[in-house]
Amino acid sequence: MTDIIFRIGDESRTIDVADGVSLMKAAVEADIPGIIGECGGNAMCATCHIYTAETDGGRLPAVSDDEDEMLDCTASDRRPGSRLSCQLVAAPALDGMVVEVPPEQV
């Protein structure tokens, strides 16, 4: 299991995500507000947008062309640490990672 800490405004929630499960799926199942995952994890909706710390870039997989394209369509501003949480899969390297839920997803 991998602990991922979601920041939602002033609130923080830690969820245990089974290795191999996407952060979007885990967040939706844990009712994290603001993570919608409308397309089911196919990098086609951008409603699973999260902000990761730029310093976490090294432990995350590279942004694919599809993800990059969708990140230009997010409701909240794209930042250097923006990612689609459906494209990030829990693994020991991500344990303890803090991600922020953007103010708007649609």
Segment contacting ligand FES by CB under 6 A, of 9-17, 40-48, 56-64, 90-98 = 40-48
Measured from the CB atom, is 84 or 97 closer to ligand FES? Answer: 84
Q: Please give the angle made by the CA atoms of 58, 60 and 63, to the nearest 5 degrees.
A: 105
Looking at 13, 41, 63, 81, which residue binds ligand FES (CB under 6 A)? 41
Measured from the CB atom, is 43 or 94 closer to ligand FES? Answer: 43
Measured from the CB atom, is 88 or 97 closer to ligand FES? Answer: 88
Amino acid sitting at position 60: L
* φ, ψ of residue 103 in degrees (nearest 5): -65, -30
Question: Got the DSSP string for 22-44?
Answer: BHHHHHHHTT-TT---TTSSSSS
Tokens in use for 90? 């829990």
Q: Which residues bind ligand FES (CB under 6 A)?
A: 24, 37-39, 41, 43-48, 70, 84, 86
